[in-house]
A and B are shown apart, each in its own frame.
Chain A
């Protein structure tokens, strides 16, 4: 599904390489977790995959379902099924949540050559998802994320995911800022959504989340590279000992 090969990415504004030769392969149905110290480049990787500007790809390739992801327009990537839940979802005053969701869904459908969803069907769909995630009607009527708490914003991200039904999902610290109940709710949402054809890349600092969303692989990312890959027990190991053993690995690879 996704194949990243020796990717190197720098910032556009300053000459600073953030992703320094990262390779990763994700097959359909797999859940991959990435853990790593602050500033190691996890969000940068997600942003590059989602298509945010401000980065220069120095070398390497990213193939998504066989096509060159890095050459694909942001909105096209979304229509092809790439979805990133933002670490810090932004507020967009003046753009109503419902209008935004409906436009997003129908834009994607249009790009894929599918028929647009009518207002009634859309409403039914979005209401049932909101109900599962315990997002209030009042929240849905507001402008996108305006006045939402940190946890509410994260829940909105999951709502968007469930509505847009992507094939490849990046969760960038979706668990940060969630209380225990919200985390269960979100995990439930993700789990009910997962299938043999969907893949997840879950970025987190906490092993806790991985009890709910069980990963097939856990990668440790240090200084722009994956320095260790293991199964879910690797996350437990990190929880106990921190990253200090891995920092050394990052240096050795230079």
Chain B
């Protein structure tokens, strides 16, 4: 079969992936990776394409887009000293550097967990950005997502390569309801560092699954912060391969849901394949009103990954009795000299703390708000950049306050 406007390398990859894809377990209630999840993610394409932006971030450094993904169109807004390519051009280019990278991590990600939707994505990309960075940028790259009402059910495919010793920060904002399935493959070379803040999906009423796969070389570092604010059916899958000594990584997530039948579904798999690496996972969910937060976090430690330091904490604050938190922490360890810990808790607002605040005259809603803000602070602390942290923390304060004053 021939594909219009695609290169030979992509065509042959596509053929191979199509065939091997037949063996990938499909999404179903029976799959342990989907048991508690909202299957609307695969079945319900009905879309309310109202365009919702993270408008409150306007005026902060978090809202000056450099790049816009609008429906299935990629727009470059600012001049940069590196080239951002469109995935559609890349898979059409016989000589693209991407041919050594594209699809490799998606394929690897199928080893432990079946990811049929990531495979679909490899076969059908429609939009996405590709860049290879050989110089650090001093300012975060802000990627803004926007819906195009004439497009729906589209697949977004991104590829990021960060060269040796290069550091970068990417902030993703907005909502692109035209895209329902996203895969980002990330390659970090020696000493490279990527901070990725995924602030998308606020009030997203459409199903959305986003995958991020990351290959990490010696001493590299990947810090991911995810924000889920009243997402209706959002699922995130993150898989990291720690392939060299001295890697450090942090995956933090804040999820706040207070609308009926809303879901947020976080799945993380960290493969420690090399010694002396450190990984942290911090999940905080505040849930109310029959909404559901799901966290599946797994740490895999290969036999050669001695001196691994793995930490995982998943905590939820349940504000009503019918809100649900499902947490499945997993450790699979084949090395003997490791420190790995995981903890998971679910609780309501602490009565003693609440009384303490009230007894000092703090109004009830304000007191609850303060405790909720305090609850997520551990996750925010994972963000290194102070200015981003404080912008985000101010933004969340406003958001949480509206939560208690509705």
Contact = CB atoms under 8 A, between A and B. Distances in A.
B40 interface: no
A93 B361 contact: no
A107 B377 contact: no
Interface in A73-98: 73-75, 77-79, 83-84, 86, 89-90, 92-95
Interface string B10-35: 00000000000000000000000000
Given A51-B359, A78-B359, A90-B353, 6 more contacts: A51-B355, A74-B359, A92-B353, A93-B377, A95-B374, A100-B357
A53 B352 CA distance: 10
A103 B356 CA distance: 13
Interface of A: 50-53, 73-75, 77-79, 83-84, 86, 89-90, 92-95, 99-100, 103-105, 107-108, 110-111, 143-144, 160, 164
A103 B363 CA distance: 9
B260 interface: no
A144 B355 CA distance: 14
B34 to A, nearest CB: 33
Contacts of B367: 75
Contacts of A144: 356
Contacts of A93: 374, 377
Interface string B362-373: 111011001101
B374 A75 contact: no
A92 B360 contact: no
A75 B355 contact: no
A164 B359 contact: no
Describe B's contact surface by its main secondary structure.
helix
Contact of B360 (A52, A78, A143): A78
B215 to A, nearest CB: 35
A92 B356 CA distance: 9
A74 B358 contact: yes
Given A53-B355, A74-B355, A103-B366, A95 B371 contact: yes
B355 A100 contact: no
Interface of B: 351-353, 355-364, 366-367, 370-371, 373-375, 377-378
Given A53-B351, A94-B378, A103 B359 contact: no
B362 A103 contact: yes
B355 A52 contact: yes
A164 B374 contact: no
Given A95-B370, A143-B374, A104 B353 contact: no
A164 B360 CA distance: 8
A107 B370 contact: no
Given A53-B351, A53-B355, A86-B356, A92 B361 contact: no
A73 B353 CA distance: 16
B377 A94 contact: yes
A135 B361 CA distance: 22
A171 B404 CA distance: 32
Given A74-B355, A95-B371, A104 B378 contact: no
A192 B171 CA distance: 54
Nearest to B372: A94
B382 to A, nearest CB: 14
A77 B375 CA distance: 27
A138 B327 CA distance: 37
A69 B21 CA distance: 70
Given A53-B351, A75-B364, A94 B373 contact: yes
A144 B374 CA distance: 11
A93 B367 CA distance: 14
B392 to A, nearest CB: 15
A78 B359 CA distance: 6
A111 B359 CA distance: 13
Contact of B357 (A53, A104, A111): A104
Contacts of B374: 92-95, 143
A202 B28 CA distance: 65
A75 B353 contact: no
Nearest to A145: B356
Contacts of A100: 357, 360, 362, 370
Given A50-B359, A107-B362, A90 B370 contact: no
Nearest to B364: A75
B375 A75 contact: no
Contacts of A78: 358-361
The 8 lowest CB-CB distance pairs between A and B, nearest first, are A94-B374, A78-B361, A108-B361, A104-B360, A74-B358, A94-B377, A95-B374, A75-B358
A74 B366 CA distance: 13
Given A92-B374, A95-B371, A95-B374, A107 B355 contact: no
A75 B362 contact: yes
A62 to B, nearest CB: 16
A51 B356 CA distance: 10
Nearest to B373: A94
Counting chain B CB atoms within 10 Å of each CB, the highest count among A83, A84, A94 belongs to: A94
B352 to A, nearest CB: 5
A84 B367 CA distance: 18
B248 to A, nearest CB: 24
A16 to B, nearest CB: 19
